[in-house]
Amino acid sequence: MAQYTQRPMRFPENILQAICERFLPTACIVCQQFQDYSICNNCLGALRDDGLFNYQCCYQCGITLQPEEISQQHCAPCQISEPYFDETYCLDRYTGILQEPLHEFKYQKRIAFGHALSSTWNALFSMQLENIDASYLLPVPLSIQKLSQRGFNQSWEIAKRIDCRKYIQKSPYILQRHHYPEHQAGSSIENRHQSIRGMFYIQEKYIEKIQHKTVIVFDDVMTSGATLNEIARVLKDNGVSRVINWVLLRAARPIERAQHV
Ligand SMILES: [Zn+2]
Ligand SMILES: [Zn+2]
């Protein structure tokens, strides 16, 4: 296990990226038009206008609110069965214009798309989130099967390039995943809940450090919220006082969703 716990973008990498963006034309990750940046101004504008952050969303789980929920800023499922996490910030919907670039990154292993997604997050969200008071930013860990198949953890690749305050320590080692053989959860929320329970743990040497701290958990996609809720449960069981989710893409409210798992 590597000893470092933070991997900010290194100085030469920063310079290299700036030079590439300045001098080499690239294709926008969304519309494929050639221009100077990894996402063009038109697509950035479309996201800015229609991104989830412009909508009335549940402060706790990030889902778009039904008209009758707006006054509370809280969706009915969160009111009925409160999740362990405290807040959720989502850049866009799962069905939005960033889904394809995310799939190019995750499944076609086009790493440049990952860098571009971090840049998109920074362009649209860094101002809104710059005053968030947290101690750690942790990616959702992958199973060993997925990690060896893919070769990288997409959430960490995006999270490590997100701009945030220096005091927020980024680390892929604090939150760990047990390497049980993967069993498919099926579609029911109850099955999902059962399959994910006990999946995550905190590496022992960090348990003392996270006591009474606020922790941000980064995930590329949030669907039912089961994974992030289980992670928040584990973090809070280990003394974390507050858990905030940062999510790239948020799935719409599932029809069968009766409670948070
Ligand atoms: Zn574009
Ligand atoms: Zn909610």
CA of 256 to the centre of ligand 2 (A): 15
pLDDT tens-digit series, residues 70-86 = 999 999 999 999 999 99
Mapping DSSP onto H, E and C, the string for the chain reads CCCCCCCCCCHHHHHHHHHHHHHCCEECCCCCCEECCCCCHHHHHHHHHHCHHHCCECCCCCCECCHHHHHHCCCHHHHHCCCCCCEEEEEEECCCCCHHHHHHHHCCCCHHHHHHHHHHHHHHHHHHHCCCCCCEEEECCCCHHHHHHHCCCHHHHHHCCCCCCCCCEECCCCEEECCCCCCCCCCCHHHHHHHHCCCEEECHHHCCCCCCCEEEEEEEEECCCHHHHHHHHHHHHCCCCEEEEEEEEECCCCCCCCCCC
CA of 206 to the centre of ligand 1 (A): 42
In a domain, residue 159? The reply is: yes
CA of 253 to the centre of ligand 2 (A): 9
pLDDT band at 20, cuts 50/70/90? low
CA of 226 to the centre of ligand 2 (A): 12
| Residue 202 domain boundaries | 59-250
In a domain, residue 168? The reply is: yes
- Mean pLDDT (whole number) for 15-44: 78
In a domain, residue 187? The reply is: yes
pLDDT band at 190, cuts 50/70/90? low
165: CATH: 3.40.50
In a domain, residue 40? The reply is: no
In a domain, residue 10? The reply is: no
Number of domains in the chain: 1
In a domain, residue 190? The reply is: yes
CA of 9 to the centre of ligand 1 (A): 25
In a domain, residue 180? The reply is: yes
- Among the residue ranges 60-64, 177-181, 190-194, 238-242, the one predicted with the least confidence is 190-194
pTM attached to this predicted model: 0.85
CA of 78 to the centre of ligand 2 (A): 4
